[in-house]
Structure 1
Amino acid sequence: MIGRRLKGARSASGYSLRALSDIIDNKVSAQAIGKYERNEDMPRSSVLLALARALNISVDFLMSADELELEGVEFRKSASSSVKEIASIEAKTLNRVEKYLAVESLLNLSSQEWDAPREAPYWASEPRDAEDAARNLRASWQLGQDPIPMLSELLEERGIKVMSLDVDRVDGLAAKVRRRDKHSARVIMIRRHTWAERKRFSLAHELGHMVLKVGVGYDPERAANRFAGAFLIPAEVLRQEIGARRTDISIGELIGLKRRFGVSIQALTYRCKDLEIITQATFGHLFKIYSDRGWRSEPFEEPHSMPWDREEPMRFQRLCFRALSEGLIGLSRAAELLEIRVKELEERLDVVA
């Protein structure tokens, strides 16, 4: 039955039942589509094809018997995000995960369990625990103390499905994808069109949600933020760079550190405060400067930021290109999977060639 998949695809597209009916030229009514979603009726083939085209999905996708469900969803989002927006983002994420897993299946790739550290989840009841968790995860993954050049690629290498979506007011999402008769997959979604330093922090923040078990009395968002700062900017390296105590620090010095660690000036300033390298008074003074310069308001972008595509996850696109090259899918199917037009796909293939 197509009910759950149809409703998910419609939610992901942001259409109401009436709007979807209008888009397919009222081949069936909104009430009829509602019945399809509740599995009370099944559309005839011409309506099924029209629905698939309107929602930019395949008929095979709608008819698939695979049952996937997001569990343990954690968001990094604005307080103003509505329930409808959250539901749409969850639906978009689930649809993208299904496509990702379908391409892996086409290529006979095992969708392995993610490389969770043996000690995880790490218990965190205070900031020091989040610091220790980040240090232990780096050790488990043998990352040393160096800055991580491409965090999205690292996470995909470790078996986490990373994807970016065009969303507003949500920077990231982490979840487990439950699959019938198979092990669960892990997914992190990040906001596509935002500067790369913000993406990197969102990725590390969502990773924190995946590996931490936060005790009562310690806010999970604060714990994930502390983990992210420690994972991206190891304490020992930062102290070597700027010293254990500072009475002041210049914007120019922070920009240099920003380039080294691939994080924002604001994240660096928080990290310096958390490690007591600077005082609360210095922290407040710096953030007043950031506010005066507009860095604390949307889109939060600072000077000397990396472009948004520097931290784009690319594995799914590579898999689609591979499936296309091996003749397992055609151009139109590859474009559908990547959610782009065939012409844009041809341009991407030409650039790669």
Structure 2
Amino acid sequence: MIGHKLKVARSASGLSLRALADAMGGIVSAQAIGKYERNEDMPSSRVLMALAAALNVTEEYLLSEDELALEGVDFRKKAGASAREEAMLQARAIHMLERYLAVEDLLNLRSVDWEQPRSAPHPVADMRDAEDAARSVREDWGLGNDPIPQLAELLEERGIKILSLDLDDVDGLAAKVRRKDRNATRVIVIKRSTWSERKRFNLAHELGHMVIAPVGNVDEEKAAHRFAGAFLIPADVLRAEMGAKRSSISIGELVELKKRFGVSIQALTYRCKDLGIINGAAFARLFKVFSERGWRTAPFEEPATMAPELEEPKRFERLCYRALAEGVIGEARAAELLGISVRELDARLDQVAA
């Protein structure tokens, strides 16, 4: 039965039942499509072909039985995000994950399991525990105290699927993914167009949610924020750079530190306050300057902004190129998996070959 796959593909496309019927040229009604989604009826071959074409998927995809489900979904969103946008994002994430897992299967690759740090989960009763959790994760993964150049790549190596999508009022999500007859995997969705320093902090924040266990009345969001800051900017390194106590910090110094750690100027300033390097008065003065310069509102364009493409997950794309090069799939299938045209695929391959 095609109900689940059809509903996921339609939700991912953002089409209502009526809009999908219109996109198919009216060969079936919205009510009929609703019956297909509820598994009350099956489409004819002609209708199945039209459904696949309108949704930009294959007929084989709609007929396949492997189903994914997201559990424990945690959205990072603006106040104006609608339930419809959240549902569409979940469907798009599932739709992309299905393609990701499909290319792994085609290459006979074992899907990388989530490599939970040995010391996790970390009980967090106060913010200092979140600091210790970040230090322990770095130790467990052998990262030392050096800045992390490509966080998305690191997390994918540790078994977390990182997806980058075009989003509006939602900055991303994190969830567990349940797969039939397989272990659950972890997924983080990030906003493709966001500056890379914001992507990096969001990725570290979601990692925090995966490895900490709040105790008592601890605010988990604040704890995940503290974890993210500590994970990206180790305390010992920052104190060595700046000193243990400062009465003021120049914007120029913050810009240079931003370049080293790959985080926003504002995240660095929070980190300095959390570690007691600056006091509340100095913190407030700096944030007054940030507000005056427009860095605290969209598009959040601080000095030395990191272009969005600098922190993008690339593993899925590489696997598609590999499958094509090894003759496992053809150009049309590779383009479908990547969600692009064959012409765009050819342009990318020429660029890669160069």
- CA, structure 1 residues 13+216, in 2 after alignment: closer, same or farther (shift >3 Å)? farther
Contact 2:5 2:67 in 1 (8 A): no
Superposition map of 1:272-291 within 5 A: 272-291=272-291
The DSSP-based 3-state class of the residue aligned with 2:208 is: helix
- Following the alignment from structure 2 to structure 1, what is the Cα–Cα distance between the partners of residues 301 and 123? 33
Contact 1:73 1:175 in 2 (8 A): yes
Number of the residue aligned with 1:196: 196
- Following the alignment from structure 1 to structure 2, what is the Cα–Cα distance between the partners of residues 292 and 30? 52
- CA, structure 1 residues 49+324, in 2 after alignment: closer, same or farther (shift >3 Å)? same
Structure 1 letter corresponding to 2:296: R
Number of the residue aligned with 1:155: 155
The DSSP-based 3-state class of the residue aligned with 1:304 is: coil
1:215 Cα deviation from its structure 2 partner: 2.5
1:216 Cα deviation from its structure 2 partner: 3.5
- Does residue 44 in structure 1 map to residue 12 in structure 2? no
Contact 2:112 2:158 in 1 (8 A): no
- Following the alignment from structure 1 to structure 2, what is the Cα–Cα distance between the partners of residues 180 and 117? 25
- Does residue 338 in structure 1 map to residue 341 in structure 2? no
Structure 2 letter corresponding to 1:165: L
- Following the alignment from structure 1 to structure 2, what is the Cα–Cα distance between the partners of residues 281 and 202? 27
Identity %: 65
- The alignment yields a C-alpha RMSD, in angstroms, of 1.0
Structure 2 letter corresponding to 1:110: R
Number of the residue aligned with 2:91: 91
Q: Tell me the alpha carbon deviations over residues 128-186 of structure 1, each in whole angstroms, 9 at most, x when there is no partner.
A: 11111110000000000000000011111111111100111222321111111111111
1:47 Cα deviation from its structure 2 partner: 1.3
TM-score normalised by structure 2 residue count: 0.98
Q: Which runs of 5+ in 1 are unaligned?
A: none
Contact 2:24 2:54 in 1 (8 A): yes
Contact 1:172 1:206 in 2 (8 A): no
Structure 2 letter corresponding to 1:212: I
Q: Tell me the alpha carbon deviations over residues 25-77 of structure 1, each in whole angstroms, 9 at most, x when there is no partner.
A: 11111111111111111111121111112112111111111121111111222
Contact 1:156 1:162 in 2 (8 A): yes
Superposition map of 1:168-179 within 5 A: 168-179=168-179
- Following the alignment from structure 2 to structure 1, what is the Cα–Cα distance between the partners of residues 205 and 170? 13
Number of the residue aligned with 1:262: 262
- Following the alignment from structure 1 to structure 2, what is the Cα–Cα distance between the partners of residues 309 and 229? 22
1:94 Cα deviation from its structure 2 partner: 0.9
- Following the alignment from structure 2 to structure 1, what is the Cα–Cα distance between the partners of residues 145 and 53? 49
Number of the residue aligned with 1:295: 295
The DSSP-based 3-state class of the residue aligned with 1:178 is: strand
With 234-243 and 123-132 compared, the bigger mean Cα shift is at 123-132
The DSSP-based 3-state class of the residue aligned with 2:178 is: strand
Structure 1 letter corresponding to 2:259: R
Contact 2:188 2:203 in 1 (8 A): yes
Aligned residues: 353
Number of the residue aligned with 2:63: 63
- Following the alignment from structure 1 to structure 2, what is the Cα–Cα distance between the partners of residues 101 and 91? 15
The DSSP-based 3-state class of the residue aligned with 1:70 is: strand
Q: Which runs of 5+ in 2 are unaligned?
A: none
Structure 2 letter corresponding to 1:128: R
The DSSP-based 3-state class of the residue aligned with 2:90 is: helix
- Does residue 164 in structure 1 map to residue 164 in structure 2? yes
- Does residue 327 in structure 1 map to residue 314 in structure 2? no
The DSSP-based 3-state class of the residue aligned with 1:183 is: coil
Contact 1:167 1:191 in 2 (8 A): yes
Superposition map of 1:243-254 within 5 A: 243-254=243-254
Number of the residue aligned with 1:235: 235
- Following the alignment from structure 2 to structure 1, what is the Cα–Cα distance between the partners of residues 220 and 126? 10
Structure 2 letter corresponding to 1:36: Y
